[in-house]
Amino acid sequence: MNTNQIEALVGMLVVAGLFAIMVLPSLVGAVRERRIDRQLREAQDRDRRAEDQKSSSRSTVPSTATRYAEGRRSKKLVSS
């Protein structure tokens, strides 16, 4: 290898190193964002499954408060 080839090789390595230094933070950030998105999706799925289990175990009979509120609403509609 002559001097010109060595200088070209060193120049290419410097450019490749600078490119890696500039691109690496964005790649790390993208990987981190994907991991956070996955964790959020998993948490939403767990919450949804837990909510489905709660709602399926609840009785379908309305509570006293619901019946009272419905009665109050119907009286307001009749009197106005």
User: In which residue are the tokens 């959020």 written?
Assistant: 40
User: In which residue are the tokens 């019946």 written?
Assistant: 67
Average pLDDT of the residues in 23-39: 96
Measured in whole angstroms, how far is the alpha carbon of residue 36 from the centre of its chain? 6
Query: If pLDDT is split at 50, 70 and 90, which confidence band does 66 have?
Result: low
Amino acid at 6: I
Structure tokens at 57: 């175990």
pTM above 0.85, yes or no: no
Rounded distance between C-alpha atoms, residue 24 and residue 18, angstroms:
10
Domain boundaries of the chain, sorted by first residue? 20-54
